[in-house]
Structure 1
Amino acid sequence: MQENCTISHGSEASSVEFQAFDQASESLFKKKEKKPSDQEVWMMYAGTMSCPVLTPPESQHRTPPEPEEEPVDDSSVEETPTKTHHRRVSSAVPSKPLPILPLDTFLPKHDITNYEAALEKAVQELQNDFQSGARQLADASLAHLAHISEIGASVATTWGKFWAIMVHAAKQLGQARPSMSAAITSCLLRTLERVARRWNDETEKGQRNTEDLVRIARGLLEEIRTERRQISARLDETFAVWLKENFTQKPPSGVPFISGPGIPFNIPTPPKTPRTIRILTLSNSSTIRSVILHALAALPTFDFHLTILESRPRCEGADMASHILSAATDKQRIAVRIVPDSAVGTAARNIDIVLLGADRISSAGDVSNKSGSLAAALCVKQLNSNAAVIVVSDIDKIAAPELEESARESHPAHELSSAWAPDTRNKLEEMEKLEVFGEWFEWVPAKYIDMYVTELGILDIEDVERVAKEIQQLDEYIFQKKKDGEGSARTSTEGSSKEGSVGDREVEHPVWRSEARTIF
């Protein structure tokens, strides 16, 4: 393992000619063999959504390919890199009306101590989890919702009360981690929408009591957790296909056409030649780890050289390096270099891709990620015009427009100062006006991002905006928010006059502070 991890400078990466993204994206639409569950996975996001969604790769409603152009002899023309662009993925799945929600949605007043205790414990676990990324926290929140709903079901006497129990828990879980709330909230909103839709379908078949509805919700939550694992595999495949299409070198141009006394023939075109892909990344995103390890396994003729920023103050970059090298199936084809965050300018010169995860994506395409992401993107755009800045993320990270500005997480000063010399730290702690920057996340504007790789394919800004509007509609409908942003849930307020105000109470989160800086 040691031989794969180095701090020395690698050789200069050759420039890459990025082909049009149309080719990479088009390859995603080719029907895969022995993939019977793919359509089911796509329909989890498409067929059950109430708003227009992106087209799955199996869709039969694609626009026919344009006729091929006549070959042109370009042997005398010097090739130049093609400007990267996005392929618009049109919607082919008709929208569905939102499911009918119950009217008596208020929390029970009595016997909910266990429910409240379980919810508070779940929120604290999310707050104290500094190792997991946004996607992992969303998965954990889904598991918490299933557990909390089971406890609350024992005191729910109607569908409305059980629905209120689930919705209230989802709200509090979504607020536990402000910087990662987009992924958590989107995941839980889509889950609640599917639960309501399934309940509607079941009640149409005949009368269902509360116990039946609880059983239905339990089974559906487990089904969704399984589907999310399948979607992660789809994202891995999307990235691997794009790498193969864009990082396989073209054969020499101007292959001669030979004619003789017989039938004319062409010299066989030599196969494309793979190459080493140099990637710059940071932090310890589970999504990035997954796509890199999958690409290593799926592309056996490619070599990978990873440059990982240390990612202070917790040095998650070192954790990522350890995870990848330990799990790599072929350690001979992967090399890892860890560099300090301050060396990002030097590191950006010799790479082909800046690979960023995302904790939140705005409707405008801006990306919130670990501090250091903006510096990496800026350095690459200034120093290495042939490199691409790529965001790898599932669509749950796309936030509704009004949810884009979340409360910023500010962490204690000792997380940064613990690396200082003891005497220096002690002296500085006595100085009243010293400020220590405690934010871990920052925004990367969309203009510095070349593409978004998701489980639905390669997205452009318009696709991101459509997904954001869909989440906004679900947020307003399921959480019963007023469009002017004032007030809380309509049905919870109505219920509070009957059974108490538990439904409207917000769980306080003293761990997080909105200040951008922490003062000793």
Structure 2
Amino acid sequence: MASKEATSGNGGLKKRSIAGSFLFKIPNGIDKPVQVALFRRSGKVSTYQHKLAPISGSVEKDDASPYATALREINEETGLTLSSIELLRVGKPYTFVDASIGREWTINPFGFRLKDKAEGGVGEEGITIDWEHEGFEWFDPLDVKETDEFGGVPKLVNSLRRVWPEYDLGHHAGQVLTLGLRRLRDDHESGARQLAEKAVSILKTLITEMKSDVIDDTWWANVRMAAWHICKARESMGAAITSAIVKTLDRVEVVFNQDLPSPEKLRQMIESIDDQLIQRKSTTDRIRDTFSNYLRQNVIQTTEPKKRICILTLSSSSTISACLLQAAAYLNVSLDLRILESRPLCEGVALAAKLLELQEGSVDFTVTLYTDASMALAAEAVDVVVLGADRISTTGDVSNKIGSLPIVLSQRHVAPNAKVVILSETEKIACPGLMEEHSAEENDPSEVIQAWTGNSKSFEIIQGALADAQGSSTQKLQVRNTYFEWVPARFIHGYITDEGLWSVQDIAERSSWISDEMDRFFKNL
């Protein structure tokens, strides 16, 4: 395709930013080999004719992002659409110069998984190459080489290892990363805190399984590259995962810089990560204590001290469930708990069950479950709206379970004096950026559709329309299943954290610290 190039002052080199997309076949069985497709460039392209390469194309000024470029190029060069692929990895961009053709390339690597027909994709048979390629072949990623004999484009292995760091990790550590990233991506039951803990455990296991006879700069770079992908595995939960991972890297770095034999370094690294995991267990207790103090000062000890308080919440959060009952017992008040069912997975029902299971005889509380559509009724006369957080932006906006914003808007209408508080670990604060800049997570629409089976005729019509839309350029029906939405900071009265009652200024300072840590560990990879 035609593209516009910028000329730099570096010897007249032409600069081009490229999206390079690797297409993977990943079987369900871990012992079955992963394969990556490389496309042989035709004699009609302007550079690197007849060389093996990922699907590549220039980032144009009209492209919203390199990711948008990647999707466009995949469609143009293979005919595949999003119904047949899913984003697997986002690689760390890098720049290199090919003086032989007078170019400075900035490569934005991506990895995509090819869906098979059983998943609604077109499979390998649906790949239709265009004039830019002579054909394509499947390879074991570990067999891809940076040699003339292999016949790849320059820096092919560097691009590949950025979306498939398993290339450098060795067999056992590579399997740990592959399975770990898959678990983080596919886990839609655990909250951000639980996923962050799982992420730290994955990194710990990976370090344990890596070759540790020589712990040197190459080893440390491989650890950081794997950590980068762990941070990127689940963007909607990325704030908590990233904070936890950079704290882990900070601990590992302290040991790495010591003058110790490699086996002793490894032992101390694992011991330090274990200590981090143990310390995480006390965060809920600290949030609970801050929450209790907030309720006492801002809700209970008013002009007429309350003996009963009404709290509205939704979804399922281990932090919220622990804080509600323990705060009630500590403050010696009764609780009127109102919980939305939280479709499509009904996590609110799970929260109610958890509270009933954990209750003690000394705690006086009642639970009322409401349908999501009746949130305005549920908000009537409440004292506090309690929400969790999956991500907090640098300006204090909060991403949480879908339904959080309507709850707050309903509360402002029917109970304007109620407080809106966020219960959250500080690790859920994201790097600098507005809420609009953070990625949204769309999930399987079948989770929503299954609730409609009671109306069999309508269900059949919907299913038929969705089936007809597969691979069609015109789509009359879409079903959205968005898990998260943003609550603006202006609606929030307090942030209850494991480090106390925080302000928006506190959040901004932590956000800046996370950004600095990200640069320190990942900028020069």
Per the normalisation by structure 2, the TM-score is: 0.64
Per the alignment, residue 362 of structure 1 pairs with: 393
* Residue 230 (structure 1) aligned with residue 276 (structure 2): no
Structure 2 counterparts to residues 149-164 of structure 1, below 5 A: 149-152=207-210, 154-155=211-212, 157-164=214-221
Residue 167 of structure 1 deviates from its aligned partner by 1.5
State the AA in 1 paired with 2:201.
Answer: A
Q: Distance in 1 between matches of 2:209 and 2:245?
A: 18
SS in 1 for 2:430: coil
Per the alignment, residue 135 of structure 2 pairs with: none
Of 189, 198, 207, the residue aligned with 2:246 is 189
Of 415, 422, 427, the residue aligned with 2:461 is 427
Q: Distance in 2 between matches of 1:292 and 1:374?
A: 21
Q: Distance in 2 between matches of 1:310 and 1:110?
A: 46
Structure 2 counterparts to residues 93-104 of structure 1, below 5 A: none
Structure 2 counterparts to residues 314-325 of structure 1, below 5 A: 314-325=345-356
Q: Distance in 2 between matches of 1:130 and 1:401?
A: 26
Cα deviation digits, residues 41-84 of structure 1 (max 9, x gap): xxxxxxxxxxxxxxxxxxxxxxxxxxxxxxxxxxxxxxxxxxxx
* Residue 221 (structure 1) aligned with residue 273 (structure 2): yes
Per the alignment, residue 446 of structure 2 pairs with: 414
Per the alignment, residue 52 of structure 1 pairs with: none
Residue 230 of structure 1 deviates from its aligned partner by 1.7
* Residue 303 (structure 1) aligned with residue 334 (structure 2): yes
SS in 2 for 1:308: strand
Greater RCO, CA 8 A, separation 6+: 1
* Residue 112 (structure 1) aligned with residue 164 (structure 2): no
Q: Is the 8 A contact 2:313 2:385 kept in 1?
A: yes
- Which structure dedicates a bigger proportion of its chain to strand? 2
Residue 109 of structure 1 deviates from its aligned partner by 6.2
Q: Is the 8 A contact 2:391 2:399 kept in 1?
A: yes
Residue 393 of structure 1 deviates from its aligned partner by 0.4
C-alpha change, 1:424 and 1:331, in structure 2 (3 Å) is farther
Q: Distance in 1 between matches of 2:306 and 2:343?
A: 34
Structure 2 counterparts to residues 101-140 of structure 1, below 5 A: 112-140=170-198
SS in 2 for 1:313: coil
Q: Distance in 1 between matches of 2:423 and 2:191?
A: 13
Cα deviation digits, residues 377-398 of structure 1 (max 9, x gap): 1111222121011011011010
State the AA in 1 paired with 2:482.
Answer: E
* Residue 212 (structure 1) aligned with residue 264 (structure 2): yes
Per the alignment, residue 228 of structure 2 pairs with: 171
Per the normalisation by structure 1, the TM-score is: 0.64
Residue 407 of structure 1 deviates from its aligned partner by 2.9
Q: Distance in 2 between matches of 1:441 and 1:185?
A: 18
Q: Is the 8 A contact 1:199 1:216 kept in 2?
A: no
C-alpha change, 1:376 and 1:164, in structure 2 (3 Å) is same
Q: Is the 8 A contact 1:248 1:275 kept in 2?
A: yes
Residue 422 of structure 1 deviates from its aligned partner by 2.7
Q: Is the 8 A contact 1:182 1:403 kept in 2?
A: no
* Residue 145 (structure 1) aligned with residue 177 (structure 2): no
State the AA in 1 paired with 2:514.
Answer: I
* Residue 340 (structure 1) aligned with residue 371 (structure 2): yes
Q: Distance in 2 between matches of 1:331 and 1:440?
A: 36
Report how many aligned residue pairs link the two structures: 351
Cα deviation digits, residues 474-519 of structure 1 (max 9, x gap): 0111112xxxxxxxxx34xxxxxxxxxxxxxxxxxxxxxxxxxxxx
C-alpha change, 1:108 and 1:367, in structure 2 (3 Å) is closer
Q: Is the 8 A contact 1:108 1:155 kept in 2?
A: no
Q: Distance in 1 between matches of 2:195 and 2:244?
A: 10
Residue 408 of structure 1 deviates from its aligned partner by 2.0
Per the alignment, residue 486 of structure 2 pairs with: 443
Cα deviation digits, residues 340-383 of structure 1 (max 9, x gap): 01001111112111101000000011100000000011111222
Q: Distance in 1 between matches of 2:274 and 2:413?
A: 47
Q: Is the 8 A contact 2:379 2:414 kept in 1?
A: yes
Q: Is the 8 A contact 1:249 1:275 kept in 2?
A: no
State the AA in 2 paired with 1:221.
Answer: I
Structure 2 counterparts to residues 369-518 of structure 1, below 5 A: 369-402=400-433, 405-420=437-452, 421-431=455-465, 432=469, 433-480=476-523, 490-491=524-525
Residue 305 of structure 1 deviates from its aligned partner by 1.1
Cα deviation digits, residues 71-125 of structure 1 (max 9, x gap): xxxxxxxxxxxxxxxxxxxxxxxxxxxxxxxxxxx97966712111111111111
Residue 221 of structure 1 deviates from its aligned partner by 0.2
SS in 2 for 1:381: helix
Cα deviation digits, residues 202-241 of structure 1 (max 9, x gap): x2xxx31221211111010000011111222111111112
Q: Distance in 2 between matches of 1:111 and 1:413?
A: 36
Compare 288-297 and 340-349 and name the one that shifted more.
288-297
C-alpha change, 1:108 and 1:461, in structure 2 (3 Å) is closer
C-alpha change, 1:303 and 1:126, in structure 2 (3 Å) is same
Q: Distance in 2 between matches of 1:198 and 1:353?
A: 45
State the AA in 2 paired with 1:442.
Answer: E
State the AA in 2 paired with 1:284.
Answer: S
SS in 2 for 1:386: coil
State the Cα RMSD in Å: 2.2
Per the alignment, residue 121 of structure 2 pairs with: none
